[in-house]
Structures are given as structure tokens and as C-alpha cells.
Amino acid sequence: MLAGPRLESSSESDLAIDLGHMNAVVELRGVAKEFVAGEACVRVLNGIDLCIAAGSFTVIAGPSGAGKSTLLHLMGGLDRPSEGSVWLEGCDLASLPDSRLTLLRRRRIGFVFQFFNLLPNMTAWQNIAMPLLLDGVHPKIARQAAIDLGDELGLGARLDQQASKLSGGEMQRAAIARALIHDPALVLADEPTGNLDSETGRRVLELLCAGVRKRDRTLVMVTHDRAAVSLGDRVVTLLDGKIVSS
């Protein structure tokens, strides 16, 4: 498996580095998030303090509208907080320009979404290899890595099929492989079984957990799936934008 490279040391001199929580892959400090809706300002998250330990599996639970997906997006640098700070591997994401934040996401974070987010006209292996190809890995090396990981996740002969011709479970397996291909420090999964039937969802969830644990990586998952909740090392419950249990 190819290891995802860290940000180059020559470029880290302009980043805010905090070594206070060496075991925390992600840390949120006093995080709030507001969105403007018409003339109103909606506060989705309010005063979130949270540390995610390396190698852990954390489930984010709570009712619809509690702010779960917003929290996950902030952890992954897909959005920026209105207040507070988000740290990934000791780096303050707010200190990064967009270009550096994009690089960090591509190299250190893997994303798994409910609706797969595959490129439909590309094959399964091409979708899986995309993070490596974007990072300049030779296409032959990227293809072999994608095939090896796809085989591990049970895609086998389906790897040469266009993504649009895969079943839902196969699409999510490809999405999981894409999230793991560059050996990220952190894998973020937003309702990964929400678009699957219960049996397919169970198998996909088992593959995701096994793939992350095999690599000793960190998984944070937003889910309503009770089976998924039971697999977590820790459950963080949100209600009205606040953590009510952890």
C-alpha cells in the first residue's frame, strides 16, 4: 500500500503547529459555525470542544439537524468555522491558504459519502486511484495499488467496470477504497450506509472498519445506523449544535 506523504517540511514553517496533544489526530477548540439564511443567521454548532485520538473509531450521533455533517466537514477542512479552531495533526487549518488546505485534504484525509461521489464515466479502479493520480503518482503504480486494494475489498472483476454500472454496494466499496488508497491519517464517513439496504450496509460497514483498523488509522463516522454505533470505540452525541454526551 502506498503511504500518503505528509506536508513537506520545507513548507511547514509558515504553518501554526501545536504539539500540545500529540495523540490527537483532530482537535476542535471552541468551534462554532453559522450560516446566513436570508436575513437570518443560523448557528448550527456552538462551543464544540472535541479531541479525536489516533487509531480510534468515533461515531457522531444525534437527530437530524443537530449539526453532525457540519462538524464532519469542519474536521475535514471542507468548511471553516465561524469561531474557534480546528487542528489536524497539530496544524491549525485556519492558518492554511486554500491551496495548502486542498493539498492536506488530498494527502491526509479520506472521505466516504452517502452518495458515493464517484465519477460515473470512469472505471472503478480509476476512481479508486484518483487521489494518487492527482498527487503525481505514476499511472501504472496507481493502477496496481487500486487493483490490489479493490481486490481486498471484494471488487475483483468489477474494477474495469464504469462506476455508473456498479451496484450501490460496489460503488460504496470503491468509495472506501478511494478513501484508503493514499493511507490517510484520518477517514471521515458521512452516513456511509444510508443509501444501502441493511444487509449490504452491514457488509460495507464491516469492510470500512476492517480497512481502517488494518492500517491503524482513525475513523470518524456520522450515522443513524445502530449497528455502526455499536462498533465505535466512542459515541459523541450532538443536540442543537452542542455535544451532550461523549
Give pLDDT tens digits for 148-188: 999 999 998 899 999 999 999 999 999 999 999 999 999 99
The verdict on residue 99 lying in a domain is no
Distance, CA of 70 to chain centre: 13
The verdict on residue 138 lying in a domain is yes
Does the structure show a pLDDT above 80 at 18?
Answer: no
The verdict on residue 165 lying in a domain is yes
Residues 24, 123: Cα–Cα separation, whole Å:
36
Give pLDDT tens digits for 175-185: 999 999 999 99
The verdict on residue 93 lying in a domain is no
Give pLDDT tens digits for 45-99: 999 999 999 999 999 999 988 999 999 999 999 999 999 999 999 899 988 999 9
Q: Which domain holds residue 116?
A: 56-80+105-245
Give pLDDT tens digits for 86-108: 999 989 998 899 999 999 998 99
Strand order through the sheet with 234-239:
109-113, 186-190, 218-222, 57-61, 234-239, 242-245
With CA atoms as reference, report the closest residue to 76 among 187, 192, 176, 232.
Answer: 187
Strand order through the sheet with 83-88:
40-53, 24-37, 83-88, 91-92
The verdict on residue 173 lying in a domain is yes
Residues 56, 54: Cα–Cα separation, whole Å:
6
Say how many Å lie between the first and final Cα of the chain, rounded.
Answer: 33
Total domains present in the chain: 1
The verdict on residue 233 lying in a domain is yes
What does pTM read for this prediction? 0.87
The verdict on residue 157 lying in a domain is yes
The set of cell numbers assigned to 219 is 475513523
The verdict on residue 152 lying in a domain is yes
In this structure, what CATH number is given to the domain that contains residue 205?
3.40.50.300
**Which CA distances in Å does 141 have to 57, 116, 119, 121, 181?**
30, 24, 20, 21, 12
188 SS3 class: strand
> How does the average pLDDT of the chain come out, rounded?
88
